[in-house]
C-alpha cells in the first residue's frame, strides 16, 4: 500500500476558542490562544497505521504538512513535494494552494499513491477533492477528522479508524464532500453545500453526511427545561450545547440561544453566551451538567461541532443527552471523539437519552 499523507496544520484551531471554524480566521484563533489540534490527530492515525500495517509506503510533504510526524511514527517518509519551495513557513501560513500542490504531487508522479490520507476538516476535504478532480485522478481519499464542522462523508470516525480503513479497504464508492459558509455558520445559518464528489474507501468506520432535520422537539424541550428550573437556587451549572434540539430547550428557558454556540445557565440566568472553552471552565461550579444532542445522521455527541466542550470541561460535568425520536431512528449508535482516547473509552457504553417530556431511550456510545 502506497499512502500519500498530508496534514492541514491549522485545521480545527478555531473550535475551542469559539470561532466555529478556522477558514479565514487563523490569525484571530491564534490571538485568542488557540492550540493546534491537527498534529495530534495526525500522530494518532500514523501510530495506528504503523501498528496495523508497518509495511506501508508513506509519501508526504515537507513540514509543517507531514514529514516529521510520519518519521516520528516509525515510517521512512518519501517527500513527494516541498510546496513551500525551500522556505520554512509557520503552520498558520499554509494555504489551500499548498494542499493542492501536495495532492497533485501524490497522484501525478511515476509512482502515484493508492490513497490520499489527509488530516483536516471540510475545507481541507474540498481542497483535496478539487485537486484530484482537476488532475482527473480516481485515487481515493480518506479524511482523518480534525476540523470543527466535518459535514462530509469522506471522513473516518476517529484517527485510529482512519488508519484501520486505510490498511484494510478493498473497494471504494463515490461520496459527497460538503462544506458551509463559515461566516453564515457563525451567524447561525447552516446550509451545507455540495463541493465535490470523490472516491472513498468503503468501510463501516466512516461517518455519514450530517442531517439537519430532527423532528419535533417541543415536548422534549419543555420537559428538560422544567427539570432545569427545578434546580434553580441550588447553584447547579448547566452547560447547554449547540444545535436546534438544545436550542429549543434554551428558548423554553426564556432566552435567545446563541447561534450554534455553547451557553451556560445557572439559577435562572445566562452566565456565559457562546462560550469558549476557557469561559466555560471559568463558569463551572461544584455541580455541573452538560446537556447535548447528537448530530443527526452521524450520532456524534462530542467531537463534531462542539469542540468548546473539551475533555477538561466534560470531566467536570455530568452528562445529559437529549434527542428527538426521529433523530435516534437515523443512527445505529452514538459516538464520541473528544481528542482524549481515555475519555472516549470512559464515555462508551449504554446511556439513557431523553426523547420526550418524560420518555427516555437506551442507546450505546461506541
Look at domain 216-365 and name its CATH class: alpha beta
* Residue range 199-231, pLDDT digits in tens: 999 876 676 665 543 345 888 999 999 999 999
In this predicted structure, what is the pLDDT of residue 43? Answer: 97
Q: What is the mean pLDDT of residues 113-140?
A: 95
Contact present, 62 and 30 (Cβ < 8 Å)? no
How many CB atoms within 10 Å of residue 191? Answer: 9
In this predicted structure, what is the pLDDT of residue 305? Answer: 83
Q: What is the mean pLDDT of residues 98-114?
A: 94
Q: Domain extents for the chain?
A: 2-201, 216-365
Q: What is the mean pLDDT of residues 186-195?
A: 65
Which range, of 58-62, 73-77, 284-288, 357-361, averages the lowest pLDDT?
A: 357-361
Whether residue 89 has pLDDT greater than 90:
no
User: Can you tell me whether residue 124 is helix, strand or coil?
Assistant: helix
Whether residue 257 has pLDDT greater than 60:
yes
Q: What is the mean pLDDT of residues 320-348?
A: 91
Q: What's the pLDDT band for 59 if we cut at 50, 70, 90?
A: very high
d(CA 97, CA 124) in angstroms, rounded, equals: 11
In this predicted structure, what is the pLDDT of residue 214? Answer: 39
d(CA 218, CA 245) in angstroms, rounded, equals: 9
Listed in sequence order, the residues at least 6 apart from 298 whose beta carbon sits closer than 8 Å to its beta carbon are 207, 208, 210, 304, 331, 335
Listed in sequence order, the residues at least 6 apart from 235 whose beta carbon sits closer than 8 Å to its beta carbon are 266, 267, 285, 286, 287
Whether residue 153 has pLDDT greater than 90:
no
C-alpha cell at position 160: 485510529
CA-CA-CA-CA torsion sign (349, 352, 354, 355)? positive
In this predicted structure, what is the pLDDT of residue 138? Answer: 93
DSSP letter string over 170-193?
--EEEEEEEE--HHHHHTT----E
Which range, of 7-11, 179-183, 266-270, averages the lowest pLDDT?
A: 179-183
In this predicted structure, what is the pLDDT of residue 30? Answer: 67
d(CA 36, CA 80) in angstroms, rounded, equals: 24
Question: Is the whole-model pTM more than 0.85?
Answer: no
Q: What is the mean pLDDT of residues 193-199?
A: 86
In this predicted structure, what is the pLDDT of residue 190? Answer: 56
Give the residue with greater pLDDT, 212 vs 25.
Answer: 25
* Cα–Cα distance list, 81 to 22, 109, 123, 126, 291 (Å): 25, 10, 21, 20, 46
Give the residue with greater pLDDT, 326 vs 340.
Answer: 340
Whether residue 352 has pLDDT greater than 50:
yes
Query: Which residue bears the cell 470512559?
Result: 346
d(CA 155, CA 30) in angstroms, rounded, equals: 26
Amino acid at each position: 500500500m502506497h499512502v500519500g499523507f498530508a496534514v492541514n496544520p491549522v485545521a480545527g484551531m478555531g473550535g475551542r476558542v469559539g470561532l466555529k471554524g478556522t477558514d479565514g480566521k487563523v490569525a484571530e484563533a491564534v490571538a485568542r490562544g488557540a492550540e493546534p489540534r491537527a498534529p495530534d490527530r495526525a500522530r494518532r492515525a500514523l501510530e495506528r497505521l504503523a501498528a496495523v500495517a508497518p509495511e506501508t509506503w508513506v509519501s508526504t510533504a515537507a513540514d509543517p504538512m507531514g514529514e516529521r510526524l510520519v518519521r516520528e511514527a516509525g515510517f521512512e517518509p518519501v517527500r513527494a513535494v516541498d510546496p513551500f519551495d525551500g522556505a520554512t513557513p509557520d503552520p498558520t501560513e499554509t494555504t489551500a494552494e499548498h494542499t493542492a500542490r501536495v495532492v497533485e504531487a501524490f497522484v501525478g508522479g511515476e509512482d502515484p499513491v493508492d490513497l490520499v490520507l489527509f488530516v483536516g476538516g471540510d475545507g481541507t476535504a474540498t481542497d483535496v477533492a478539487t485537486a484530484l478532480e482537476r488532475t482527473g485522478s480516481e485515487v481515493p481519499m480518506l479524511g482523518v477528522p480534525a476540523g470543527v464542522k466535518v459535514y462530509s462523508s469522506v471522513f473516518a470516525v476517529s484517527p485510529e479508524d482512519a488508519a484501520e480503513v486505510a490498511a484494510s479497504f478493498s473497494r471504494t464508492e463515490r461520496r459527497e464532500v460538503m462544506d458551509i459558509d463559515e461566516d453564515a455558520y457563525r451567524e447561525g445559518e447552516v446550509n451545507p453545500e455540495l463541493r465535490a464528489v470523490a472516491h472513498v474507501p468503503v468501510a463501516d468506520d466512516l461517518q455519514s453526511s450530517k442531517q439537519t432535520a430532527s423532528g419535533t422537539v417541543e415536548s422534549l424541550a419543555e420537559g428538560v427545561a422544567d427539570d432545569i428550573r427545578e434546580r434553580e437556587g441550588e447553584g447547579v451549572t448547566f452547560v447547554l450545547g449547540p444545535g436546534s434540539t438544545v436550542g429549543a430547550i434554551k428558548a423554553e428557558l426564556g432566552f435567545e440561544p446563541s447561534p450554534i454556540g455553547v451557553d451556560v445557565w445557572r439559577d435562572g440566568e445566562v452566565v456565559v453566551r457562546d462560550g469558549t472553552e476557557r469561559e466555560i471552565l471559568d463558569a463551572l461550579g461544584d455541580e455541573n451538567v452538560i446537556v447535548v444532542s447528537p448530530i443527526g445522521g452521524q450520532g456524534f455527541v462530542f467531537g463534531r461541532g462542539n469542540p468548546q466542550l473539551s475533555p477538561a470541561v466534560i470531566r467536570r460535568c455530568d452528562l445529559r443527552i437529549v434527542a428527538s425520536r426521529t433523530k435516534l431512528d437515523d443512527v445505529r449508535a452514538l459516538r464520541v471523539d473528544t481528542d482524549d482516547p481515555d475519555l472516549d473509552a470512559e464515555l462508551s457504553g449504554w446511556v439513557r437519552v431523553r426523547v420526550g417530556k418524560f420518555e427516555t431511550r437506551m442507546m450505546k456510545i461506541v
